[in-house]
Amino acid sequence: MERSKKPSAIPVSPTIPTPQVSISQDNARVSASLPTGESVEVLLHGATVISWKSANGKENLFLSSKAHLDGSKAVRGGVPLVFPVFGPPPASHPTSGLPQHGFARTSKWEYLGKSSSESSKLPNSSGDASIKLDFGLSNDMLESLPSEWKKYAFGITYSITLSREELETSLAIRNTGDTTWDFQTLFHTYLAVDDISKTSVHGLEETSYTDKVGGAKATSASKAPITITGEVDRVYSPALSQKITVSENKKAKFEITRDELGDVVVWNPWEGKAGTMADFGPSDGWKKMICVETGAVSKWNNLEAGDTWEGGQRIKLC
Ligand SMILES: O=P(O)(O)OC[C@H]1O[C@H](O)[C@H](O)[C@@H](O)[C@@H]1O
User: Ligand 1, from 188, 213, 298: best to mutate by most atoms within 8 Å of Cβ?
Assistant: 188
Instruction: For residues 63 and 68, give the distance between their C-alpha atoms in angstroms, rounded to a whole number.
Output: 10
Distance 5 CA to ligand 1 centre (A): 74
Distance 165 CA to ligand 1 centre (A): 27
As for the ipTM of the complex, it is 0.99
**For the chain, which residues score pLDDT lower than 50?**
none
Boundaries of every domain in the chain: 20-317
Residue 190: C-alpha distances to residues 16, 26, 96, 143, 182 (Å): 34, 26, 26, 28, 26
Burial of 86 (0-12, 13-18, 19+ CB in 10 A): buried
Closest CA to 167 of 155, 176, 178, 159: 159
Instruction: Please give all residues whose beta carbon lies within 6 A of any atom in ligand 1, as ranges.
Output: 74, 87, 100-101, 212, 233, 265, 267, 291, 293
Number of neighbours of residue 147 by Cβ within 10 angstroms: 8
Closest C-alpha residue for ligand 1 atom 9: 267
Distance 25 CA to ligand 1 centre (A): 32
251-275 pLDDT per residue, tens: 999 999 999 999 999 999 999 999 9
Radius of gyration of the CA atoms of the chain, in A:
22
pLDDT of residue 32: 98
Which CATH number does the domain 20-317 belong to among 2.60.40.10, 2.60.220.30, 3.30.2010.10, 2.70.98.10? 2.70.98.10
Please provide the distance, in angstroms rounded to a whole number, between the alpha carbons at the two ends of the chain: 64
Helices of type H across 224-314: 270-275
Annotated catalytic residue within 188, 205, 231, 248: 188
188 is an active site residue: yes
Distance 305 CA to ligand 1 centre (A): 30
Q: Is 314 labeled as ligand-binding?
A: no
In the chain, count of helices (H) and strands (E)? 2, 21
Q: Is 76 labeled as ligand-binding?
A: yes
